[in-house]
């Protein structure tokens, strides 16, 4: 059986290469012929698993193929498998991933079937995604870099089908939800991987998640968060919504949210961040005061660590206390802290659409988007968004129904404090450069701005932190007595 395994695996490898060469000779593009080899080579796992399952021979074959792939990559012996693009080392990484898993299954024999799931998610999912994603141009927007929407959907669909087939044919303790989580991780990791490393990253990450979900089913409560996190971090970094330090701060908040509230905590955090980004983009689009042709738009990267801390510190503390004490009061505090930050961002972002803005604390009209300014639309948003956010938290089981109103009230009061501090205490400057407009920054248009009101050390981050603290405190007091 072992000898047959060596023979059949070698013959099949040669057959796949010949198919790639034939396609290339018939005029098929280098990219398609290479991906055809990528798709077909996954069946090597079936041969090896049938003739030499969980054995040093399996590892030996993987080592031989990896060495051959490396030689081919360096010498470009086969045009049908070579590429001068970013994915050039991809086939080598594929061999490395299989070699690593073949070695690990000698220590963890139960890794056998997760290994197979991972191989086919990579060979079929990633291989077909490249063909579909690069082949369909119209109606196929790019998500991140050269990764497209249809390509990512292909990875997910194929990986989901692969996992379901393994579940149906083998005695694997996988739920449909677990299969979906594995497929999401496959698509998520493929989306953010570069220079062919998706063949390594997808194979290893899918194998480990499948192993954990099969043999540690309790982990399924966290699987969705784990599956989505690579894509979320990659998109945030790729779109420059956060600096690297800001991403680390957000990752700390996401981690403690998942530990305390499982995947629901991550989903609620993701909804908060998505709505905050969308409403802020609306603000940046419409807030374009121009003077002498100069546009006053924010520049990326968008938020740094201090901005993340100002908006997320009390959500982090609440989630941490919830994890330590398991007291549901802190779930209300967590939701309220996020809701207040969202209320402030959304009211400012959508309030920019109002024609009239008034500063009730200075009793004077003001420009939309000015610190302390309030509008009818912004006020409605500052109450409606927290109530909707609290309702989502209730549907996820994070807070009781009675505390939807608690979230709405605490977030609204916190946002009112934000307006008060922004109007009377926060430092506001006048640009001395080309635009001449009011700004929250001490420099503008490459020159120092002049402080016109408030305190220089009292920044927008300070305002956000204090208003978020008040919202969290109010939520804590109400939730403690109800």
* pLDDT computed for residue 292 by the predictor: 36
Domain boundaries, the chain: 2-238, 244-481
* pLDDT computed for residue 287 by the predictor: 66
CB 94 within 8 A of CB 122: yes
* pLDDT computed for residue 202 by the predictor: 93
Does 293 score more than 60 pLDDT? no
Q: Tokens standing for 295?
A: 């546009």
Which residues does 180 contact at the CB level (< 8 Å), separation at least 6? 160
Instruction: State the chain's mean pLDDT as an integer.
Output: 85
Mean pLDDT for 383-405 is 95
Does 318 score more than 70 pLDDT? yes
From the CB of residue 17, how many other CB atoms can be counted at a distance below 10 Å?
A: 18
* pLDDT computed for residue 80 by the predictor: 56
Whole-structure pTM value: 0.84
Mean pLDDT for 279-283 is 82
Band (pLDDT 50/70/90 cuts) for residue 87 is very low
Mean pLDDT for 168-177 is 91
Digit-coded pLDDT (tens) for 436-481: 666 667 777 666 777 777 777 788 889 999 999 999 999 999 999 8
Which residues does 217 contact at the CB level (< 8 Å), separation at least 6? 173, 175, 178
Digit-coded pLDDT (tens) for 349-382: 888 877 777 777 777 777 666 676 778 888 899 9
How many Å separate Cα 389 from the centre of its chain?
Answer: 20
* pLDDT computed for residue 438 by the predictor: 67
Does 251 score more than 60 pLDDT? yes
Digit-coded pLDDT (tens) for 90-118: 778 888 999 999 999 999 999 999 999 99
DSSP structural state of residue 219? G
Picking from 113, 116, 4, 18, the residue whose alpha carbon sits closest to that of residue 61 is 4
Residue 196 — left, alpha, or beta (φ > 0 → left; ψ -120 to 50 → alpha)? left
Residue 284, exposed/middle/buried by CB under 10 A (0-12, 13-18, 19+)? middle
**Residues β-bridged to residue 364:** 359
**Cβ density class 146-182: b for 16+ within 10 Å, e for less:** ebbebbbebbbbbbbbbbbebbeeeebebeeebbbbb
CB 390 within 8 A of CB 360: no
Does 419 score more than 80 pLDDT? yes
Mean pLDDT for 133-157 is 83
* pLDDT computed for residue 297 by the predictor: 42
**CA separation (Å) from 28 to 146, 164, 175, 262, 441?**
21, 32, 40, 48, 56
Task: Give the separation between CA 432 and CA 441, rounded to whole angstroms.
Answer: 12
Does 48 score more than 90 pLDDT? yes
CB 266 within 8 A of CB 224: yes
Task: Give the separation between CA 250 and CA 304, rounded to whole angstroms.
Answer: 10
Picking from 277, 170, 182, the residue whose alpha carbon sits closest to that of residue 220 is 182
* pLDDT computed for residue 49 by the predictor: 92
Highest mean pLDDT among 77-91, 286-300, 368-382: 368-382
């Amino acid at each position: 059986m072992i000898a047959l395994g060596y023979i059949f695996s070698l013959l099949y490898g040669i057959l796949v290469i010949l198919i790639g060469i034939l396609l290339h000779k018939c005029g098929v593009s280098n990219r398609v012929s290479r991906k055809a080899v990528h798709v077909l080579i996954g069946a090597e796992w079936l041969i090896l698993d049938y003739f030499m399952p969980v054995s040093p021979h399996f590892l030996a074959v993987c080592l031989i193929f990896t060495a051959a792939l490396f030689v081919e990559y360096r010498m470009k012996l086969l045009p049908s498998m070579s590429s001068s693009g970013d994915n050039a080392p991809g086939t080598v990484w594929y061999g490395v991933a299989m070699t690593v898993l073949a070695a690990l299954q000698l220590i963890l024999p139960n890794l056998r079937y997760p290994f197979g799931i991972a191989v086919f998610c990579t060979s079929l999912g990633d291989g077909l995604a490249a063909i579909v994603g690069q082949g369909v141009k119209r109606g196929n927007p790019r998500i991140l870099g050269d990764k497209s929407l249809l390509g990512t959907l292909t990875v997910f669909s194929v990986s989901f089908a692969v996992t379901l087939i393994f579940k149906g044919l083998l005695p694997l303790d996988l739920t449909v939800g677990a299969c979906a989580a594995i497929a999401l991780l496959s698509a998520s990791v493929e989306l953010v991987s570069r220079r062919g490393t998706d063949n390594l990253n997808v194979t290893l990450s899918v194998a480990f998640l499948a192993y954990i979900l099969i043999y540690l089913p309790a982990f399924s409560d966290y699987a969705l968060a784990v599956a989505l996190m690579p894509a979320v971090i990659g998109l945030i970094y790729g779109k420059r919504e956060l600096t690297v330090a800001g991403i680390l701060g957000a990752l700390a908040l996401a981690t403690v949210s998942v530990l305390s509230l499982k995947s629901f905590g991550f989903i609620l955090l993701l909804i908060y961040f998505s709505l905050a980004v969308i409403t802020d983009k609306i603000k940046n689009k419409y807030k374009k005061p121009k003077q002498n042709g100069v546009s006053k738009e924010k520049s990326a990267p968008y938020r740094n660590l201090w901005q993340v801390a100002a908006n997320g510190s009390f959500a982090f503390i609440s989630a941490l206390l919830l994890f330590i004490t398991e007291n549901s009061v802190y779930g209300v505090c967590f939701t309220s802290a996020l809701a207040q930050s969202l209320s402030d961002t959304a009211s400012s972002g959508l309030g920019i659409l109002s024609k009239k803005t008034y500063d009730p604390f200075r009793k004077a009209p003001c420009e939309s988007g000015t610190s302390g300014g309030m509008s009818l639309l912004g006020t409605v948003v500052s109450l409606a968004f927290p109530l909707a956010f609290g309702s989502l938290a209730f549907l996820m089981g994070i807070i009781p129904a009675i505390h939807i109103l608690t979230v709405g009230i605490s977030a609204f009061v916190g946002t009112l404090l934000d307006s008060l501090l922004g109007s009377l205490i926060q430092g506001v400057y006048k640009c001395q450069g080309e635009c001449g407009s009011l700004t929250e920054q001490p420099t503008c248009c490459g020159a120092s701005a002049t402080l016109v009101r408030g305190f220089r050390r009292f920044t927008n981050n300070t305002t956000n932190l204090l208003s978020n603290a008040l919202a969290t405190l109010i939520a804590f007091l109400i939730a403690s007595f109800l």
